[in-house]
Amino acid sequence: MLARATHGGSAIVAVEVNVSCPNVDDRSRMFAHSETATAQVVAATECGLPRWVKLSPNVPDIAAIAGAALGAGAEALTLTNTLLGLALDIDTGRPVLGAGGGGLSGEGLHPVAVRAVWECRAAFPDAAIIGVGGVASGPAAIEFLMAGADAVQVGTATFRDPRAPWKVLRDVTRWCRKNGTSVDALRAGACSRRAITVPE
């Protein structure tokens, strides 16, 4: 593994363990759909670096999977990977992607990922959480911070604009200044709401 070959002083400070990639032939066997499989993968990836485990939103109880990851040694949770989706070619009626379906990312994923962060923050008050999914603007990042994320990841938006992370940070900074607050204060506010749950 890359992590095993990493020596002290490297720029690599953590490894993201993606147990939830939907781009596989048999999605029913995705590690992140099972508490046991998630724990086994996390245990097997011990490498001397912090492991951030990326989980799937396509489960009935993401907090249970998160608990398995943390219990097996994950130092942080990355919430979340993509939603399972399917696009059809209307001329042929066949799936556009060769494997059939695939992962839906971007703005459509955002509210699902925000809920995952909220639920896992309530379940694990002291866990490190990275919010990811549909972050293309400052307000989207702020939502994650308010939900309980310690950090925010910008992904799909960088395909359209490589400067997207910088723009998101700029917008968050401006919003905080305008509202007389800070990222630390947003995190503190999320901590004070840890006991609140989202109604079914």
Q: Over pLDDT 90: what percentage of the chain?
A: 57
Assess if residue 8 is contained within a domain: no
Residue 194, pLDDT score = 53
Task: Read off the pLDDT band of 33 (50, 70, 90).
Answer: confident
**Mean per-residue pLDDT, 179-196:** 75
Residue 26, pLDDT score = 54
What is the bridge-based pairing of β-strands 102-104 and 83-85?
antiparallel
| Residue 21: other Cβ atoms inside 10 A | 15
Assess if residue 80 is contained within a domain: yes
Assess if residue 10 is contained within a domain: no
**Mean per-residue pLDDT, 105-111:** 90
Assess if residue 106 is contained within a domain: yes
pTM as predicted: 0.86
Q: For the domain that residue 183 is a member of, what is the CATH number?
A: 3.20.20.70
* CA-based radius of gyration for the chain: 18
DSSP 151: E
**Mean per-residue pLDDT, 116-134:** 95
The yes-or-no verdict on residue 7 having pLDDT over 80 is no
The enclosing H or E element of 40 equals: helix 35-44
Assess if residue 199 is contained within a domain: no
Active site residues: 21
- Average pLDDT value for the chain: 86
Assess if residue 176 is contained within a domain: yes
Residue 193, pLDDT score = 58
For residue 146, with 0-12 CB atoms within 10 Å meaning exposed, 13-18 middle and 19 or more buried, which class applies?
middle
Tally the residues of the chain: 200
Assess if residue 81 is contained within a domain: yes
The yes-or-no verdict on residue 9 having pLDDT over 90 is no
Helix H, strand E, coil C: the string for 170-186 is HHHHHHHHHCCCCHHHH
The yes-or-no verdict on residue 24 having pLDDT over 80 is no
Structural domain count of the chain: 1
The yes-or-no verdict on residue 191 having pLDDT over 80 is no
- The 10s digit of each residue's pLDDT in 52-86 is 999 999 999 999 999 999 999 999 999 988 888 88
Assess if residue 31 is contained within a domain: yes
Could you tell me which residue, 66 or 13, shows the higher pLDDT?
Answer: 66
What is the domain extent for residue 22? 15-192
